[in-house]
Amino acid sequence: MTLDRINFLKDEINKSNYKYYVEENPYLSDFEYDQLFAELKQLEEQFPLLKTPDSPTQRVGSVSEKFFPHTHKYRLYSLDNTYNDEELYKWYDRVEKECGKDIDLVCELKIDGLAIALTYEKGIFVRGVTRGDGITGEDITTNLKTVKAIPLKLFEPVDVEVRGEIYMPKSSFEKLNEENLAKGEKVFANPRNAASGSIRQLDSTITAKRDLSIFVYSSVFENIPNAPSTHYDGMMYLKKLGFKVNPNVRHCKNMEEAIQYIKEWDTKRFDLDYATDGVVIKVNSIACQQDLGFTSRAPKWATAFKFPPEEITTKLLDIELNIGKSGAVTPVAILEPVLLAGSTVARASLHNFDEIKRLDVRIGDTVLIKKAAEIIPKVIKVMETEEHKSLQPYVAPTKCPACDASLVTREGEVNLYCENQNCSQQIMAKIEFWVSKDAMDIDNIGPAVIQQLYEGNFISNPVDLYKLTMQDFMQLEGVKEKSAYNMFNAIQESKERPLKRLLTALGVRHIGKETAELITSEFTSLDAIKNAERDMLAKIDGVGDKMADSVYEFFHNEENLKMLDELKALGINPTAEVTTKSDKLGGKTFVLTGTLQNMTRDAASELIKQNGGKTSSSVSKKTDYVLAGENAGSKLDKAQNLGVIILTEDEFLEMIKEY
């Protein structure tokens, strides 16, 4: 009887939470809800063995020392952005070429929040992880359990991973800031920052007090007969399971209807109680999504249309000069602080000195600023005023503001450069980039700490970070033993970062994190990259001659080679991340061409790597197999001429099974 009563109470409370937080249609009065909750809590205290993870009483939270990394079972990708109708039609044309004419679409409002992945086993919520870099995130399950719009138990016992966006309603954000201001505590810049700060509290009882919610936007079902064959049906099924789906999701027959949806929400969005910065357009057919596949960073079957950013005028107080890791001198506008798109802006990009000349920006001007993609503020116009005419035209510098070296231009570029390798700002910029999230991801080492370490002669380059001791950190102003330990430990942990991060951190010209990932998927060690010929690098899809030249030259520079040897001696010698299930295809090189029927080429490539093989973008005498789908092109012809073995998709799958 006791177990039956507990199950009844849990179901009633979960149903009430769903009605209140998801459907926004209260099912019980506050008094009735409190009575049921108190009875459940009392019974669980009396019979602790009957307390289960899906119980509503488990939402209260607890205190954790840290969040632990968790590798996503299914990678989370970013989205490519579009900003006008022409770009949308270009994307749609590419979709139609692959999947046929008049492909139907699904439009969803792009929620400005924090992306997370939720895992359910037999309908029970077991894990919640932040997006992180898409491959690895942080396990914040305890905190997510406090978000009442996230069901702890689904209405059906299915296995599913659901992606969603945690957000804080605008009204709750304003209330939180008012309360914090009254208490003299931190005031958040915008709802997204408030949501992110709240969900990542080590003390999840604080998270429980914040009014957070979620909209889910995609899912991966496992072992479900008759799983939804379209994205829209999948969203409706998620709603049926008990998830909060945005009510403004719309099924569109074509791009014209999608554009109509975008125009409709361009102004209506301001009436919503949550922040949205665009519309996500997705191909509806799951089969077509699988055919289209992914690039290295984003799905080819979806794109995000970004709404025009807000614009506002303010006064330009000064122009500050920053020296980057490459020596490029970047002018930055120092502004009279102003509220723009939900946050206070006091600095804005001026890009380069040609842009200053084009706009005729003068110190003291009234300027129009906007947020590029609603993230980076930039000056877009000088307002025509009488005051402008009386101000002195801005003259570009000829000397580096940090080291007084002469500034130079480079052929084909508009930037000015400081080429003094010992320039203090340039060195600190290189170190700041090294520790950044996109590079070696070293927590607790910020610009202020780097400046103290550099000016105190503790470091003169990124390599020196790995020579620091706890005692070195203890000598810095305001650093106590715990902080020193955290900084020292963060540096030691970074020695285990994957090769793609190290290649990014090295700051090779023209090589960002995405290109670094492409290169390290082909060359899985520093020695392999060092020994790669220019043409081998250039043949990697997405690299090309210019990037290949940069990598080749970097790894054939004596100073750089000495630095790499020093890093190796200090314990940093990572290899690429390769998840190998077997060695069935060990040492074999595959080239993929044409359209496969049962999987995307990306999925086939992953299977090859998981079984010990490798892929190449071009056919040569060293190619072992060409996996050819429908409409295979010149690669198939070249393989036939060279006598390379050509596999059908069925033959390839049989090879994986029995090779």
328-377 pLDDT, tens digit per residue, is 999 999 999 988 766 788 999 898 899 899 899 999 999 988 875 445 78
Report the pLDDT value the prediction gives residue 342, as an integer from 0 to 100. Answer: 62
pLDDT band at 206 (very low <50, low <70, confident <90, very high): confident
Contact 508, 551 (CB under 8 A): yes
DSSP per residue, 216-259: EEEEEEES-TT--SBHHHHHHHHHHHT--B-TT-EEESSHHHHH
Residues with Cβ < 8 Å from 329, sequence gap 6 or more? Answer: 321, 322, 323, 397, 400, 401, 407, 415, 416, 417, 418
% of the chain beyond a pLDDT of 70: 93
Please write the tens of the pLDDT for every residue from 532-583. 899 889 888 778 888 999 999 999 999 999 999 999 999 997 866 655 667 8
Report the pLDDT value the prediction gives residue 309, as an integer from 0 to 100. Answer: 66
* Number of other CB atoms surrounding residue 444 within 10 Å: 16
Helix 30-46 / helix 2-17 crossing angle, nearest 10 deg: 140
The token pair at 63 is 């205190």
Edge-to-edge strand list for the sheet holding 614-616: 614-616, 589-593, 625-628, 645-647
User: What mean pLDDT, rounded, does the chain reach?
Assistant: 86
Most confident residue range from 20-24, 33-37, 527-531, 599-603: 527-531
Contact 548, 509 (CB under 8 A): no
Name which of 236-250, 441-455, 537-551 the model is least confident about.
537-551
Asked if residue 31 has pLDDT above 70, the reply is: no
Asked if residue 384 has pLDDT above 90, the reply is: no
Contact 294, 602 (CB under 8 A): yes
Edge-to-edge strand list for the sheet holding 276-283: 81-82, 302-306, 276-283, 105-111, 250-252
Report the pLDDT value the prediction gives residue 24, as an integer from 0 to 100. Answer: 53
Q: Which residues are catalytic?
A: 110
Name which of 204-218, 358-372, 589-603 the model is least confident about.
589-603
Encode 37-90 in three state secondary structure.
HHHHHHHHHHCHHHCCCCCHHHHCCCECCCCEEEECCCCCCCCCEECCHHHHHH
Query: HSE on the CB side for 635, CA within 13 Å?
Result: 22
Asked if residue 64 has pLDDT above 60, the reply is: no
Q: What is the pTM of this model?
A: 0.54
pLDDT band at 275 (very low <50, low <70, confident <90, very high): confident
